[in-house]
Structure 1
Amino acid sequence: MTKKDIYRDLKQLGGATVLPESPEQAELERVPNPQAGTPYCVRFTAPEFTSLCPITGQPDFAHLMIDYVPGDWLVESKSLKLFLGAFRNHGAFHEDCTVSIAKRLCDLLAPQWLRIGGYWYPRGGIPIDVFYQTGPAPEGVWIPDQGVPPYRGRG
């Protein structure tokens, strides 16, 4: 399989796309990992992630950090961007949003390892940080600290 062949089934990259109405409607796409068998870490940072409070409908904001060690598949980044954007009108608590994103990526990619840090901005005076990972980090792979400082307010 040539490198060009691994991209032939992508539906969203390179064309006009519309933000999905919901995360459930979003189509996450994957491509074969051309470096399968080589352990390495991939990081996605979404510093302007938004969702809605399921009770009040008020917006919630987070800085998401997604790290994964791929197996046979990579997530296509435009489809990931559209998937994350679909949470803009989705009502769910911080914990549910964060863990749901991780589980959807794990179901799609079957990565060797994945972790997500959801660093949610304060609402009602309390920031909520949500962390999920699939197990211990693989040995021999450099996995940098997520580097997002805890919320300090004025302190």
Structure 2
Amino acid sequence: MADSSSPHHPSDRHAIRLRGPWWCSPGPRFDEGRAIRVQWAADVEAENVDAFVMRRAFNRPTGLEAGDRVYLVAESVEHLRAIELNGQAVWTCEATESVTAVEVDIVETLQPVNQLDLTFALPRPAPPRVTGEVRLEIAEVR
């Protein structure tokens, strides 16, 4: 969902797709001992879990200048409940809400190397419908 206060239109942005591999852990908190590598959440066998966390590392985009914005965009991500970047919550959603697209300005939270966690909560008995993508969009101020 585009932030209406953003001075940039999404078509003016440079996109960096955060493709696989991702680490996937069952449960509402990431557990390295139970994590498996997957290409994306659509590959997750989630029949017997109520929640899972997708984790991926990425580097800070190069060439950012003062005033540039970096947005984390997730599309077609039904059942997404929380986004953490470097251990800090940057977005949450109540279980009663239905969200399929998210856009969050993360420029202030970026580190040289970043850890992104996406938490999904699944209604029983529905499998996750996470068919979209996650990407960074850079809006340059020049």
Task: From the two aligned structures, give the one with the greater helix fraction.
Answer: 1
Report the TM-score, using the length of structure 1 for normalisation.
Answer: 0.29
Say which one has the larger Rg. 1
TM-score for the superposition, normalised by structure 2: 0.31
